[in-house]
Amino acid sequence: PRLEFGEEKIKAERMFGLMDVFLKNDPLSLQKDILDHVEFTVAKSRFNFDDFEAYHALAHSVRDRLIERWHDTQIHFNRKGPKRLYFLSLEFLMGRSLSNTVINLGVRDQFADALSQLGFEFEVLAEQEGDACLGNGGLARLSACQMDSLATLDYPAIGYGLRYQYGLFRQVILDGFQHEQPDYWLNFGNPWEIERVHITYPVKFYGTVTDEVLNKEKHKVWVPGEVVEAVAYDNPIPGYGTRNTIVLRLWAAKPSDQHNMESYNTGDYVDAVVNRQRAESISSILYPDDRSYQGKELQLKQRYFFVSASVQDIIRRFKDTHKNFNEFPEKVALQLNDTHPSLAIAEVMRVLLDEEHLGWNRAWDIICKIFSYTTHTVSSEAMEKIPVDLMGSLLPRHLQIIYDINFNFMEKLKKMIGLDYDRLARMSIVEEGAVKNIRMANLSIICCHTVNGVSRLHLELLKTKVFRDFYELWPHKFHYKTNGVTQRRWIVVSNPSLCALISKWLGTEAWIRDIDLLIGLRDHATNAELHQEWKMELCNDLMLVCTIGNVQVSLNAMFDVHTKRIHEYKRQLLNILGIIHRYDSIKNMNKNDRKKVVPRVCIISGKAAPGYEIAKKIIKLCHVVAEKINNDNDIGDLLKLVFIPDYNVSVAELVIPGADLSQHLSTAGHEASGTSSMKFLMNGCLLLATEDGSTIEMIEEVGRENMFLFGASVNDVPALREKGPALKVPLQFLRVVRMIRDGHFGLKDYFKSLCDKIETGNDYFLVGADFASYLEAQAAADKAFVDEDRWTQMSILCAAGSGKFSSDRTIQEYAEKTWGIQPCRCPS
Ligand code: NBX
């Protein structure tokens, strides 16, 4: 196995001091610990407590073990002094922690036994936990998967983020319409975090910049207008099959005591205290838009707050063991998860210049060595811009620094490319126009040593379209690391029966750390005995059936799942139109033909950004269509449509293991990568997909014959769009759109704008152009499903070929090629 240290090395590590296991994991010790927490942490009598209280006591006992390992890991890292990775992300979608933690710690069965002796069931208690939804979608869940891999692969890493008091809004469906409700997730306390009241940093805002002379040298001094305190909350992240436990440090804002004192002298004490509380609003809310930057002052404040606290913490940790900054680039790698934390560049520069007095050249040299950036989008329009006026008022010194970086870059660029003013203007960090903006992507590309895309196709689009000018200038900076997901959460935790089956047939559990072993399933792909067991596994849709609640479904049906954020480019509309077509076709069939129809349960789930009108209409359309189909007795079990509200990590954990078919319908060239497809693939779910983002790479891993592919390829898209009104769309498409327009499902006025959007000539995402090919792929899926052996074999081959899509592979590539960090394994 690639990351294990040799015996010799482990012995050498022991010489530094053996780390005794402190807390014991035998049944009696565990029971005692749980009851102690019932009595003293939850403060309930140990003779009388319910499931919820038991969950909290259990979580605290698990947390104690996490803390022990985390301390040991810290001590080990501090002794070894390795280069560390600092992973900066505004979003982490962690979901629940209990099951994942006990599995990674290797104490799940011990805890389950201890609990059963106390009269509780582990699974029931695990259900008590709420989701931590501190992120929007793919990008945020990716951060969570990557933290799991960093810990498991023993990398010395720290994640930094924000401790939002309100997570992503809860989606409530009333009469088929999405409504948003606040997710005040900390209501019942959060046993997985450790509040660090003594780890706090002041964060400055507003004010002015003055010149001062110090030791005969001129320096800039930023005199802030407001100071807020950042408090650390540590969330330990355990690795699997290792003692290593790393940390995700989240910052919360609180009023500062050292500053802003003058307000008390005004006499209005009560107002002054109330005003102080406003500081907390900085970290209170996660912005619910998964594409665009709002350019709001509070959002910028939030980002700088996060960046400043993290940078202070990183520099403090470095200075604890170093006298000067010579070694900084050898000890520190800073990863920017999209441009959201890219103010960190200007902040490190500011600290090195104004506080450490390093001088421009030395500071700039350091900046260019420590930062790397990963982009998660394919469109230039989605790139973040910050209005210059806003930045100038909130962060006056940072604006100066960014202007200086830009000036130097422009001078250099002119020497390299000449006076090509159009190109200079495109590449400038500052966008001129009615409103002047700072382009955060340009800032990031100019200052980072590496720019990563999240799939091979994504890099291609960056090189030829989005960042073309920069690619031509610095081809060596551009790379890709195809995304991955952690098999610990997405198989071991969420699909324990499949996990056991895989381990049985591979004859080992080692694939949980070494995903490459999964390929071994291929050797058994035609084995009749495995087929039997695998089929049982595929039929095990009960959890899913429970999730969809009151719609009666047939267990023989194909469970067809489409779950992700609602977006025009993700084309949930294509799915719904396909369902209408299926419904219409069945209605027009005679009895005999109906007998040949494969029963389907179509499941759609996902949130629309609160201000995204069209996405909200798509949700409503799904509901009116479901209403019609599900209540049509003539159709019976042949077709059902269910929208599961409030899609989140926990819902995904239920739905993914139960799915037979999953849909990934983005118009080619629009999905940077896509990660839910990887979770389905690992679980042996077949994919119906376009050739986009990561699905292209799946074709190579599992074979075209084991997927249902359709639609225009990325090279076809521009020509199809060109055609405009001359574009040919199939009659079936016109027919289903007509049904909606004519009010077949009601609300025809309401859906008019939706229909107009896919009208020929107006159909940017090519729903009409891809419709015929989509229906063919659906028909192929039906045909394959009827042949049970074929379907089972395809399913086994999908799981067997999914190894590439583990975040362990992604993280190892980042570590070796981008961050330059080594594993640092804590002795156990
Ligand atoms: O990141 C997603 C992409 O759309 C996926 O293709 C990709 O697989 C995934 C991980 O790389 N992007 C994404 O989720 N973006 C956001 O959630 C987002 C959040 C806030 C924001 C902009 C984008 N301001």
ipTM given for this complex:
0.99
Please count the other Cβ atoms lying within 10 Å of the Cβ belonging to residue 780.
15
Of ligand 1's listed atoms, the one at least distance from the Cα of 382 is 22
pLDDT for 171 equals: 98
> What is the 3 state secondary structure string of 495-556?
CHHHHHHHHHHHCCCHHHCCHHHHHHHHHHCCCHHHHHHHHHHHHCCHHHHHHCCCCCCCCC
Burial of 468 from C-beta contacts in 10 A (0-12 / 13-18 / 19+): middle
Q: Give per-residue pLDDT as tens, 705-735.
A: 999 999 999 999 999 999 999 999 999 999 9
pLDDT for 263 equals: 57
Same fold, 81-96+131-168+180-255+273-483+813-819 and 494-803: yes
Q: Give per-residue pLDDT as tens, 77-97.
A: 999 999 999 999 999 999 999
Nearest 5°: phi and psi at 177? Answer: -100, 145
Tokens of 579: 């369902």
pLDDT for 292 equals: 77
321 Cα–ligand 1 center, Å = 37
pLDDT for 272 equals: 79
Residue with tokens 């156990």: 828
Q: Is-catalytic flag, 564?
A: yes
pLDDT for 271 equals: 81
- From 302, 376, 648, mutation site for ligand 1 pocket: most ligand atoms within 8 A of C-beta: 376
pLDDT for 548 equals: 72
Q: Is the CB of 673 under 6 A from ligand 1?
A: yes
Q: DSSP characters for 752-789?
A: HHHHHHTSTTT-TT-HHHHHHHHHHHHHHHHHHHHSHH
The order of strands in the sheet holding 600-605 is 639-644, 600-605, 558-563, 661-664, 686-690, 708-710
Of ligand 1's listed atoms, the one at least distance from the Cα of 293 is 24
Q: Is the CB of 33 under 6 A from ligand 1?
A: no
Q: Is the CB of 396 under 6 A from ligand 1?
A: no
Residue with tokens 């990325």: 714
Q: Is-catalytic flag, 620?
A: no
What's the CA dihedral at 524, 525, 531, 533 to 10 degrees?
Answer: 50
Q: Is the CB of 812 under 6 A from ligand 1?
A: no
pLDDT for 547 equals: 65
Q: Is the CB of 378 under 6 A from ligand 1?
A: no
Of ligand 1's listed atoms, the one at least distance from the Cα of 454 is 11
Largest CA distance in the chain: 95
Beta bridge partners of 13: none
Q: Is-catalytic flag, 323?
A: no
As its CATH architecture, domain 81-96+131-168+180-255+273-483+813-819 has 3-Layer(aba) Sandwich (3.40)
pLDDT for 546 equals: 64
513 Cα–ligand 1 center, Å = 26
Q: Which of 133, 140, 72, 73 is nearest to 97 (CA)?
A: 133
Contact (Cβ atoms closer than 8 angstroms) between residue 562 and residue 663: yes
The Cα–Cα gap between 71 and 83 comes to 18
CA distances for 728 relative to 362, 739, 760, 767, angstroms? 60, 19, 8, 11
Q: Which of 492, 509, 816 is nearest to 683 (CA)?
A: 492
Contact (Cβ atoms closer than 8 angstroms) between residue 249 and residue 92: no
The Cα–Cα gap between 177 and 613 comes to 11
37, 565, 582, 640: the catalytic one is 565
The Cα–Cα gap between 206 and 203 comes to 11
Q: Is the CB of 770 under 6 A from ligand 1?
A: no
Q: Which of 66, 98, 153 is nearest to 513 (CA)?
A: 153
Burial of 262 from C-beta contacts in 10 A (0-12 / 13-18 / 19+): exposed
602 Cα–ligand 1 center, Å = 25
pLDDT for 216 equals: 87
389 three-state secondary structure: helix
609 three-state secondary structure: coil
pLDDT for 5 equals: 45
Q: Is-catalytic flag, 679?
A: yes
Tokens of 825: 């394994």
65, 163, 350, 376: the catalytic one is 376
Question: Residue ranges per domain, the chain?
Answer: 81-96+131-168+180-255+273-483+813-819, 494-803
Q: Which residues of the chain have pLDDT under 70?
A: 1-20, 258-267, 540-543, 546-547
Of ligand 1's listed atoms, the one at least distance from the Cα of 458 is 6
Kind plus residue range of the DSSP H or E element containing 320 = helix 297-321
Q: Is-catalytic flag, 76?
A: no
Beta bridge partners of 694: none
The CATH T-level fold of domain 494-803 is: Rossmann fold (3.40.50)
Q: Is-catalytic flag, 675?
A: yes
